[in-house]
Amino acid sequence: MSEFKLDFLDTETAFADKSDSELKEKYRLFRMLNSPLLNAIGTRSAKFALSLGLPVEGLIKSTIFEQFCGGETIEECEPAVQKLGAARIGAILDYSVEGKATEKDFDATKNEIIKTIDRAKNDPLVPFAVFKVTGVAPLGTLERMSAKRKLDGKSQAKCERIHSRVHEICEYAFRRGQPVFIDAEESWIQDAIDRLATEMMEKYNIEHPIVYNTIQLYRKDRLQFLRESRRQAYANGYILGAKLVRGAYMEKERGRAAQMGYESPIHEDKASTDEDYDLALDYCLKHLDEVAFVAGTHNEKSAHRLASRMHSLGIARDHPYINFSQLYGMSDNLSYVLAKNGYNVSKYVPYGPVGDAIPYLIRRAQENTSVTGQMSRELDLISKELKRRKLA
């Protein structure tokens, strides 16, 4: 067997499609994100300015929005789709409008998600679609469904509309042969999301993986949930679609648990999360004939470990049931190096009106500073490339 090599320090590959000016701008922005003080000032200022109706959207669009989003519409994302595609990286168009509350808004979001499925259809540059259930459902109803509380007539009607929207999206994806991710969310609404995702997989994953549920491995119970999900899929004759992530709501989860006096569902330390994540990857590899999975990770060790395990097991780098995924604007050293070496790689490309995408962008900034060393790592890689180009 040939020697396995994968160099995530290859910044020439990671930033090959960045001009000198784009690289310098990326460095300036990530330097700000790497400072907790500047980050806090920036996010608070953005919230305050928007609450006063000040015209700051243009500034936001030309800085952090441009770094982490593809555009305001599907059409505006096209340059990002083509640029990623030229490097053999797929684009996942993620309509990132949050915080809506009316049935009219939920229907509009459902219709937009269906448009992303249409855009993805038959185009290898857009391998997956994605949606959040909270984009098409009220939080309160999802919370009551997850707690298995008795629903009154009004809540039952909302529950049926939620089911109808999720079913319409997944059926549409199935009819077009287009895989779709259902993103994971907060633990107190996740049970309802899991049940919806499982029902959709039972319907549509009989021959091919169409619907993927997302499993957050920073939760103490999710490795067991993955195992149970695989056994249930096997028993009922469908393919399990699983997107494996560490998790995005750690501080919110711990804060709510402390406030309400229950045990936090989140692992106590990063090492435990990392261990469960890698065990989940191993489990999916072991059951590859029954599980199609996506390694959604910015962690170099996990990405390298999975690629190395594939090599040692003789699994093709482009196996259709194994995909890697990162966020647009982040961890280009993983995405571009993996793609150059023949692995299936895609990037989440969020889009939506700047004002509506602000909650996503603020969370992105805050999460990035809370991930130990992530921004420093990004800065180090950009600095290395600037020096290689003799720009620093």
**Domain total in the chain:** 2
**Cα 185 → chain centroid:** 11
Distance CA 102, CA 292 (A): 35
Mean predicted confidence (pLDDT) in 127-145: 96
Residues 298, 371: one domain? no
Q: Over the Cα atoms of the chain, what is R_g? A: 20
Residues 133, 62: one domain? no
Rounded to whole angstroms, what are the CA distances from 127 to 85, 122, 268? Answer: 11, 9, 35
Distance CA 117, CA 102 (A): 23
How big is the chain, counted in residues?
392
Contacts of 132 (CB under 8 A, 6+ apart): 98, 182, 183, 185
Helix 20-33 and helix 36-51: axis angle, to 10°?
A: 90
pLDDT at 345 over 70: yes
Distance CA 28, CA 368 (A): 15
Asked if 333 and 8 touch (Cβ cutoff 8 Å), the reply is yes
pLDDT at 54 over 70: no
Which amino acid, 325? S
Give the alpha-carbon dihedral of 293, 266, 129, 171, to 10 degrees: 90
- Of all residues in the chain, what percent are helix, strand and coil, respectively (each to 5)? 55, 10, 30
pTM of the entire predicted model: 0.93
Range of the structural domain that residue 21 is part of: 1-69+357-392
Distance CA 287, CA 282 (A): 9
Residues 33, 92: one domain? no
In the structure, what pLDDT confidence band is assigned to residue 368 with cuts at 50, 70 and 90?
low
Residues 83, 34: one domain? no
Rounded mean pLDDT of the chain?
A: 91
In sequence order, what E strands does 52-199 have?
A: 89-95, 129-131, 180-182
What's the pLDDT at 335?
Answer: 98
What's the pLDDT at 367?
Answer: 57
Residues 234, 331: one domain? yes
Mean predicted confidence (pLDDT) in 280-301: 97
CATH number at 324 reads 3.20.20.220
Residue in this structure with the two tokens 């699983």, named with its chain if needed: 242
In the structure, what pLDDT confidence band is assigned to residue 125 with cuts at 50, 70 and 90?
very high
Asked if 333 and 297 touch (Cβ cutoff 8 Å), the reply is no
Q: How is residue 147 written in tokens?
A: 């707690």
Residues 317, 187: one domain? yes
In tens, the pLDDT along 196-210 reads 999 999 999 999 999
Residues 295, 174: one domain? yes
Residues 31, 165: one domain? no
Residues 346, 361: one domain? no
For the ranges 117-131, 151-165, 257-271, 351-365, the lowest mean pLDDT is seen at 351-365
Rounded to whole angstroms, what are the CA distances from 210 to 41, 95, 176, 205? Answer: 42, 19, 10, 6
Residues 90, 45: one domain? no
pLDDT at 42 over 70: no
In tens, the pLDDT along 269-289 reads 999 999 999 999 999 999 999
Residues 166, 301: one domain? yes
Residues 246, 201: one domain? yes
Asked if 176 and 117 touch (Cβ cutoff 8 Å), the reply is yes
Distance CA 242, CA 353 (A): 29
